Amino acid sequence: MKCLNCDTEFEGNFCPECGQSAKTGRFTMKFILQNLTTAILGRDGGVWFTLKNLFSRPGAMIVEILSGKRKKYFSPFPMLFLALTLYILVTSATTGFMLQEAFSQSDTVFTEESEEIDSQSIEVYHLLKNTVFFFINHYTLCFLLTLPLFVIAARACYGRDNRKKYYWAEYIITIVYALVIVVLFRCLTKLTYLFDHDLALSLGFTLAPLVMIVACTACSRKMLGFSIAKTAWRSFLLVLLYSLMLFGLLLIGAILFALIVLNGKGDINIQLG
Ligand SMILES: [Zn+2]
């Protein structure tokens, strides 16, 4: 028969060139439902099966994937996108209120009617507030954009004296799976907002770095061949290095922004003067 995907003539159940099934017919509701349930609940490459392994034996799972057991597990990047989608769904209900609450006290201090505070400070305050809002509202985007920083930090902290010389791409696979754990945990902390507002705020700030260290340690220990303590220490350095790079970038951004804005303001003042 002829493969409907690549036109190769073949005999058997699968095309030897592209791997498409010989039984590909028209789309039916049954097919779509089956496809969806195997993608989520199926044993071979299913989301649920992969998540179960990621949480119960992350290190072993990643070693298996790096050494070639690929079809068995759901791919890392689609997994991260799924986790981020869940995060967006969870936060769409809570983040707005959380932010308003976090800023409510300082909002009453920095109002236009306040006489003790000059207009420039109020302007700076609003700029700061809007920046924070931007980052939190675009968390997923910022998160994905800083992924290279995370990989650079992983390469720098895990690269020395490990079991074998890993490629950059192999660090990316490990880091992306670790970040799936981090994002899912963030979803959980956001959900605590429904029960306890203060708890959710403090969990978000204090536990986030800790979870990153634990997730990176769990995912990378087996592939690196280090002891738990050594992996945890390197993972701590990784998160520290990542935070420092992030902070440095934000600082550079803030300085550039301030230079541009203040320069603009200066011109206006001179013109008015
Ligand atoms: Zn084919």
Tell me whether residue 270 is in a domain: no
- Distance (Å) from CA 34 to ligand 1 centroid: 22
- Distance (Å) from CA 24 to ligand 1 centroid: 11
13-64 pLDDT, tens digit per residue, is 999 999 998 888 889 999 899 989 988 888 888 999 999 999 999 999 999 9
- Distance (Å) from CA 252 to ligand 1 centroid: 51
Q: Which of 104-118, 134-148, 163-177 has the highest mean pLDDT?
A: 163-177
- Distance (Å) from CA 152 to ligand 1 centroid: 39
Is 192 found in the same domain as 153?
yes
Tell me whether residue 133 is in a domain: yes
Is 217 found in the same domain as 242?
yes
207-244 pLDDT, tens digit per residue, is 888 999 999 999 999 999 999 999 999 999 999 999 99
Is 27 found in the same domain as 54?
no
Per the structure, the count of domains in the chain is 2
pLDDT greater than 80 at residue 172: yes
- Distance (Å) from CA 158 to ligand 1 centroid: 41
- Distance (Å) from CA 4 to ligand 1 centroid: 7
- Distance (Å) from CA 17 to ligand 1 centroid: 5
- Distance (Å) from CA 18 to ligand 1 centroid: 4
Range of the domain at 110: 46-263
pLDDT band, residue 92 (cuts 50/70/90): confident
- Distance (Å) from CA 7 to ligand 1 centroid: 6
Is 54 found in the same domain as 36?
no
Per-residue burial over 111-125, b = 16 or more CB atoms within 10 Å of its CB, e = otherwise: eeeeeeeeeeeeeeb
pLDDT band, residue 115 (cuts 50/70/90): low
Phi, psi of 69 (to 5 degrees): -80, 85
pLDDT band, residue 270 (cuts 50/70/90): very low
Tell me whether residue 65 is in a domain: yes
**Rama region for 73: left / alpha / beta (φ>0; ψ in -120 to 50; rest):** beta
Tell me whether residue 6 is in a domain: yes
Tell me whether residue 89 is in a domain: yes
Is 232 found in the same domain as 140?
yes
Is 184 found in the same domain as 68?
yes
- Distance (Å) from CA 23 to ligand 1 centroid: 12
Tell me whether residue 233 is in a domain: yes
Tell me whether residue 220 is in a domain: yes
Provide mean pLDDT across the span 175-200: 86
pLDDT of the residue at 180: 96
- Distance (Å) from CA 20 to ligand 1 centroid: 6
Residues 6+ apart with CB under 8 A from 146: 242, 246
- Distance (Å) from CA 21 to ligand 1 centroid: 8
Is 14 found in the same domain as 94?
no
- Distance (Å) from CA 26 to ligand 1 centroid: 17
Tell me whether residue 268 is in a domain: no
Is 128 found in the same domain as 31?
no
